[in-house]
Structure formats: structure tokens, C-alpha cells
Amino acid sequence: MSESEVTTIPKLRRVLKDTKANLDAMIGLSDGDLGYGTDTVILYRQNGNGAANWEAITSLAAQDIMSGLEADIPAVGNSREGSIYIVVDKGYICTLTIGAWVKSYSELFFAYAEATLAQFQANAGTGDFVSAPQAINDNVVGDHAQADTINQYCQVLFTPIVKVDQWRLYGHALQNANGDYKLQYLDAAGAWQDWVTGIPTRVATWSTMAIETEVITKGIRIVATTIDSSSGPASRAGELEVYHS
């Protein structure tokens, strides 16, 4: 290589989005990583390696820092010059510059963690199942969550946003295996999306662990789509597990 030639070596930087306390608690950070504090509404840059080295690089008002899907980038007329939009589904940041959204960082990726079973079981299930939605993820197959009406659901929320790609379901002895559920995931924009459909109700055994398309999510719902004809009638689920392989 001659003295006048220059070789550019690109560097990947992670972009993280969480409360400032959770950003401070993260490990494995590298110089140049970016973190958006959802509570402080500040974009930080990692200056070194460690929790004490987050350096604020923005001082915009809360309404000037936004996040969401690429399809939902706001019209330029609705935002102020210099505003920042974090594109959560594609992994880049854009800045409103001279009346146009410009990719500020186009080689970034979001370092969402792969969910563990412990994370799925950390927050008790909630929802409008007719009984015991908390039983859906309590790590006890002897109790059960029960639905008696189509579209009743149990949901489990993750803290923070994670990636999932597999699930399995434990049933209940009082099932005729002729009902159905579907699984939904809560996307980065806060909308519930269908993930897996046509999951049959089952007796008191585990289904095979199913590997699905990976999704980035804030939570998982199991929704009754056909009610089992067993006593009640009612669809009963002893336990649900959703995490990353």
C-alpha cells in the first residue's frame, strides 16, 4: 500500500434503549456504543468500557427524541430540526437535517438480549382468562390458567425488550384437545402481532419445543381462539414457556 492510500475499517456500534439505571448495569460494553435513556430522554455514548462511562451527547427536549418502526418515521413538518428518531425494527438512527431525515448511523445494530426462561417467568402473567392468568408462567404445571370465551388472553411482559424464537405448552387432564390458541408478541411500537397460530389445546403433557421465526418483543400473549369442548367448556393451560434457543 502506498503512503497516500487510506484503508477504512468500519466499526459496528451497539445501540441500546432502556432506563438509565439499566444502561448503567449492562456489561460487555465497548467504546462508541450508544444508549438512549428512556427515562432521562438523553442519548449517551460509551466513552471507554463500563457503567461509569456513559457520556451524554444530546440535550434535546423529550419530544425531539422519538423511536418506532421505520414505516412510522414522522413527517418532517411535524418535527424540529435536529430531532432524532431511533428506528427499532431496522437498527439505525436518523436525524432531521435541513428538512430531511438522514441516517446518522447506518451501520448500527441493536443488542437486544436473547430471552431466558427465567426472564419469561420473572413477571407474573396477567390478562382476562376467567381464572388464574398468573398460573401461565409460574413454573408449576399442577395449576392452570383457564379461558371460557374466545379471545380471552394471558400475557407476560419482559423487562427489557428481548428476542425470542421458541415455545412449548403444557396442557391439562380435563381437555379434549379440540380447542386452539395463538401466540402474539408485543412489538417495539407497542402493538400486539400474531406470531404462532393454530396451537391445539392438549392433555397434561408438554408439547414439543417449537422453533419459530425470531421476534424482538416486549411481551407474549396466549389467546384462546377456539374453546376446548371439555367440562365447562373451557380451555386449560398448565404452563407456557417462551424464550430464545
- Extract the C-alpha cell encoding 7: 484503508
Give the model's confidence band at 221: pLDDT under 50 very low, under 70 low, under 90 confident, else very high. Answer: very high
Output the pLDDT for position 193.
94
Average model confidence (pLDDT) for the chain?
85
Output the pLDDT for position 200.
98
Q: In the predicted model, is pLDDT for residue 4 greater than 60?
A: no
Break the chain into its structural domains and give their ranges: 13-110, 114-243
Output the pLDDT for position 71.
84
Give the position of cell 401461565.
136
Output the pLDDT for position 49.
63
CA distance 238 to 197: 19
CA distance 136 to 4: 65
pLDDT tens digits, residue range 123-159?
999 999 999 999 999 999 999 999 999 999 999 998 7
Output the pLDDT for position 24.
83
Give the model's confidence band at 107: pLDDT under 50 very low, under 70 low, under 90 confident, else very high. Answer: very low
Least confident of 32-41, 47-56, 117-126, 217-226: 47-56
CA distance 190 to 185: 10
Output the pLDDT for position 108.
44
Give the position of cell 477504512.
8
Q: In the predicted model, is pLDDT for residue 3 greater than 60?
A: no
Least confident of 3-17, 84-98, 164-178, 210-224: 3-17
Comparing 30 with 143, the larger pLDDT belongs to: 143
Phi and psi, residue 196, nearest 5°: -130, 130
For the entire predicted model, the pTM comes to 0.61
Q: In the predicted model, is pLDDT for residue 104 greater than 90?
A: no
Give the model's confidence band at 18: pLDDT under 50 very low, under 70 low, under 90 confident, else very high. Answer: confident
Q: How far lies 215's CA from each of 11, 108, 136, 237, 243, in Å?
A: 25, 18, 20, 23, 10
Three-state SS string across 143-155, please?
CCEEECCCCCEEE
Cis peptide before 233 (omega within 30 of 0): yes
Fold of the CATH domain 114-243:
Jelly Rolls (2.60.120)
Output the DSSP codes for the chain: --TT--------EEEEEE-HHHHHH--S--TT-EEEETTTTEEEEE-SSSGGGEEE-----GGGEEEE-GGGPPPGGGS-TT-EEEETTTTEEEEEETTEEEEEESSEEE-PEEPPHHHHTTS--EE--SB-GGGGGSS-TTS-EEE-STT-EEEEEEEEEEEEEEEEEE--SS--S--EEEEEEE-TTS-EEEEEEEEE--SSSBPPPEEEEEEEEEEEEEEEEE---SSSS-EEESEEEEE--
Q: Of the segments 39-43, 59-63, 97-101, 155-159, which one has the largest average pLDDT value? A: 155-159
